[in-house]
Structure 1
Amino acid sequence: MEEIQLYLDEAKDAMQKALKHTEAEFAKIRAGKAMPSMVHGVSVSYYGIDTPLEQVSSITTPDARTILIKPFEKKLISEIEKAIKDSNLGFNPQNDGENIRISLPPLTEERRKALVKQVKGESENGKIGIRNIRKDTNEELRKLQKEGASEDEIKKAEEKVQSLTNDFIAKIDQVLAKKEAEIMTV
């Protein structure tokens, strides 16, 4: 039935977005190596409007332990520095008048374990999102059954939804394992 396929496609798209979101959250969690993505999500007040940091500056990593932020306008330096401090990323930005440098200290064993815990929490959030999509899709399918779709078609569709759910949860587990290994590698 065409409507059933539509719900299945919507579920797959939503689960894909949940996976992408989880991956994006993982990218923000540092694993010892400096990356520009670590400061993504930081917003700066630019003429009274919250603007993403990457739109008002260039962000580079001159070496494995340093993030260098060059504002496009010098007057933004103090705003950027304040935004980074307020972002709770645990960074201590250094302002030299023209650029902002963030030096990343080497990760301690304790910090690595805390990061793994954080990554596991994010992966669980992703899995919960996928399970909620499954639940919502199954509810929509059951409504179709009440509207006259055959029980067999709905059962098959629910099995497909469960199969999608299993696939995407497995993908989150794979991404989690990779990120955990990255964090625990000294």
Structure 2
Amino acid sequence: MIKDIHKDAQSRMHKSIEALRHNLVKVRTGRATSALVDHIKVQSYGSDMPLSQVASVAVTDARSLTITPWDKQMVSVIEKALINSDLGLTPNTAGMTIRINIPALTEERRRELTKVVHSEAEDAKVAIRNIRRDANQQVKDLQKDKQVTEDDVRRSEDDVQKMTDSAIKDVDEVVKAKEQELMAV
């Protein structure tokens, strides 16, 4: 039973790290990537759809994205969605093609984005610590039910702490890599 608790905690910690990676993709680095617009929803035929399902998104060069809608009527809708998004980018429309130019980041903006990265990392660390707490509580509940001994509880807490330390180290590595990417000029 303890092994199942540990497996569950390990998988949840891994998911927290993956969620952090996914969230950090949205942090703009000055380089164009189609992942910048992945989270944008577009009103299409009465429902909100991801941008990637109504248009093709291509990286034309290091500083620009090209969005080509599959339906001519979607151009203005996509343009509005981009303007209303949290990206702070202005789309340029030419016929059926929407181009987004990504400006170079200023030093001040890089520092602000670094703070955002650290905030996301702290959220991931809190999630990992909560997973540790839950796993330890589940093992203590087993002890109350007299299904495991006190020694098993201590060993389990040590194992869960090792998993937690490893996961937090992974979070720090992800943050360090993103910081280097942000600070590269």
Partner of 2:3: 5
- TM-score normalised over the length of structure 2: 0.96
Report the counterpart of residue 161 of structure 1 in structure 2. 160
Please state how far the C-alpha of 1:81 moved relative to its aligned partner.
1.1
Deviation at 1:8, TM superposition (A): 0.4
1:133-148 alignment to 2 at 5 Å?
A: 133-148=131-146
1:128-176, CA deviations, whole angstroms, 9 ceiling, x for partnerless residues? Answer: 1111111111111111111111111111111111111110100010010
Shift of 1:94: 1.3
Q: How large is the Cα RMSD of the aligned pairs?
A: 0.9
SS in 2 for 1:90: coil
Determine the C-alpha separation between the residues in 2 that align with 1:132 and 1:74.
Answer: 48
Q: Which deviates more from structure 2 when the two are superposed, residues 169-178 or residues 69-78?
A: 69-78
Letter in 1 for 2:168: I
- Amino acid in structure 2 at the alignment position of 1:173: D
Q: Which runs of 5+ in 1 are unaligned?
A: none
Aligned partner letter, 1:95: T
1:107 maps to amino acid: L
Give 1:114's aligned residue.
112
Alpha-carbon distance in structure 1 between the residues aligned to 2:55 and 2:142: 51
Amino acid corresponding to residue 151 of structure 1 in structure 2: E
Match of 1:32 among 16, 30, 33: 30
Q: Which runs of 5+ in 2 are unaligned?
A: none
Q: CA deviation at 1:97?
A: 2.4
Moved over 4 A (4+): none
Identity of aligned residues (%): 40
- TM-score, normalised on structure 1? 0.96
Partner residue in 1 for 2:178:
179
Aligned to 1:62: 60
